[in-house]
């Protein structure tokens, strides 16, 4: 590939990220790929699957979103039977969220399919190319944190 300016690189990278995401989703048949839930809802569900239960404040902090945005997201998950919300008896203002059995099953399916898609996608790359890709991703994640 010829030398690109940073601006041309950014434009091309954005297009390729979009194509990669759409291509991966086309190979999956789950709640996310069918449009039943959104990617931010999957992030919430994945976090809840690791935490078991957390407060709405903790969830808003994790998502780096406003409390009302996270509340709307959780409302939709509760309505779909994927999450539970409960208040404590000690302080009714505190609200905790966890996944239902259905929610745990759905997030497990989504992550399992995503793993299989990733394995299929990256099997054509050499071990060295995969390592280079991971190193670049780790640098980018570190820069964002």
Q: Does a structural domain hold residue 7?
A: no
What pTM, to 2 d.p., does this model score? 0.82
Domain count, the chain: 1
Q: Does a structural domain hold residue 1?
A: no
Q: Does a structural domain hold residue 57?
A: yes
Predicted local confidence at residue 105, as pLDDT: 96
Predicted local confidence at residue 92, as pLDDT: 80
Q: Does a structural domain hold residue 6?
A: no
Q: Does a structural domain hold residue 113?
A: yes
**Containing structural domain, residue 65:** 14-144
Q: Does a structural domain hold residue 69?
A: yes
Q: Does a structural domain hold residue 100?
A: yes
Q: Does a structural domain hold residue 108?
A: yes
Any idea what the CATH number is for the domain that residue 73 is in?
Answer: 1.10.10.10
Q: What is the mean pLDDT of each run of 10 residues along the chain (145 residues)?
A: 84 93 85 88 94 91 93 95 91 90 95 93 95 96 93
Longest CA–CA separation in the chain, Å: 64
């Amino acid at each position: 590939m010829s030398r690109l300016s940073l601006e041309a690189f950014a434009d091309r990278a954005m297009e390729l990220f979009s194509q990669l995401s759409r291509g991966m989703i086309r190979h999956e048949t789950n709640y996310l790929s069918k449009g039943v839930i959104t990617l931010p809802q999957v992030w919430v569900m994945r976090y809840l699957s690791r935490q078991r239960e957390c407060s709405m404040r903790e969830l808003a902090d994790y998502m780096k979103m406003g409390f009302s945005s996270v509340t709307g997201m959780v409302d939709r998950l509760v309505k779909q039977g994927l999450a539970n919300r409960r208040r404590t008896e000690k302080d009714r203002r505190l609200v905790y969220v966890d996944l239902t059995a259905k929610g745990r099953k759905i997030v497990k399916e989504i992550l399992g399919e995503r793993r299989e898609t990733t394995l299929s996608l990256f099997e054509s790359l050499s071990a060295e190319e995969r390592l280079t890709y991971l190193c670049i991703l780790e640098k980018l994640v570190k820069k964002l944190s």
